[in-house]
Amino acid sequence: MTQTASVDALSHAHRLLDKLPLVDGHNDLPFVIRRDRDAKGDVRRYDLTRVHQNTDTDIPRLKEGRLSAQIWAAYIPSTTKQPARAVLELIDTIHQLCDAHPDIFMRALTPADIGKAKRQGKIASFLAIEGGVGLENSLAPLRVWHAAGARLMTLCHNETLDWVDSATDQPRHQGLTAFGRAVVAELNRLGMMVDLAHVSPDVMRQVLDISKAPVVFSHSNARALADHPRNVPDDVLDRVPGNGGIVMVTFVPDFINRNSYEWMLPFKDEYGKTRADVDMTKALAERERQHGRRPRSTLAQLVDHIDYIVKRIGIDHVGIGSDYFGGQTPDGLEDVSRFPHLIAELVRRGYTDSAIAKIASRNFVRVFRNVEKIGNELRKTQAPRVGRIEDFDRA
């Protein structure tokens, strides 16, 4: 492709993004602010108005990236002490984004807020809970989180919990326990999106069996192209259209490029999680000395995943979920300013404007509206589910 054609594709992408909203399904900036040694969760002290060269997300680059809506993750590691308190602190950090920068971020609760933010030139800021460890095995926090603005919940993170198996940990439940099924049912009743990004394939299948509402894979790719346990197997992909859900492709290098993941395998346990007993700084340097640099992942390879998902299950079931978190990123998608370049690659591959609009936001908006509608209907006939894990999962 000529340089002129490449420039034309990027110009076309910018014109598209002048008109249509762009939604990103997952960003861990709140955790980056929380772990920052100076800010410690204080958004104003972190100062998003300047470019943070060592991470990937700040206001100058968000503006350049043309985002209209961002799902911010209230993420904590599964081993966090007092996890319920930690989740509330992350929720507060997400609210601080809008309080500190009301000219940039708009607190968002409904699908309609995406278009509203676009018209106002702001970024609709949605709250997601990443990992159910903060429930501390009780259903009640679900309703508190929803009241605080949460509209999506990733059931677990990299570790298996007492009620749900993770994709990157030893399975203990053959999927979901009875309490886990109650969590899914209550999320449906509340109108909160059920996110399967980190769960085991058995959990994916079981949730697709029981969920009354469309599901979301907020930051996952196609396992057929990169055999990482966090990616979605073909048999699960094939069930997504019947559920009405969406797979939001993610920028994590190991989830994009099979060779990148395989290069890292000596440092991972049998479930694909990085081993805690390895000094990664020394180990990576030694592996590079012996085997050459780790293979890079690229924007083009990421779009290969979009191509694969579209061909397998259709254009109506794919979106974008970057998972920017201040870590390694693919070539061409180094930070949040690069979203237009992803849209430009879709242009170069022949996607129509209407197809790009679906990937950019319309598919997500459809899923969100359906989840909200189903929740409204369920609340007319279902009472809140109350109880702790021992009330559902008896020894």
- Count how many residues are written for the chain: 395
Q: Is the separation of the CB atoms in 169 and 177 below 8 Å?
A: no
Whole-angstrom distance, CA of residue 87 vs CA of residue 391: 23
- 3-state SS, residue 320: strand
Q: CB count, 10 Å around CB of 288? A: 12
Whole-angstrom distance, CA of residue 167 vs CA of residue 179: 19
In terms of Cα–Cα distance, which of 263, 256, 259 is closest to 307? 256
- H helical segments located in 79-169: 83-100, 112-120, 140-147
- 3-state SS, residue 366: helix
Hey, which residues are catalytic here? 26, 28, 130, 157, 198, 219, 323
Beta-sheet strands, E only, within 250-383: 318-320
Dihedral angle at the C-alpha atoms of 186, 190, 194, 199, nearest 10 degrees?
Answer: -30
- Decide the pairing of beta strands 318-320 and 105-107: unpaired
CB neighbour burial string for 3-28, b if at least 16 within 10 angstroms, e if fewer: eeeeeebbebbeebbeebbbbbbbbb
Whole-angstrom distance, CA of residue 325 vs CA of residue 341: 19
Whole-angstrom distance, CA of residue 219 vs CA of residue 197: 6
Whole-angstrom distance, CA of residue 321 vs CA of residue 324: 9
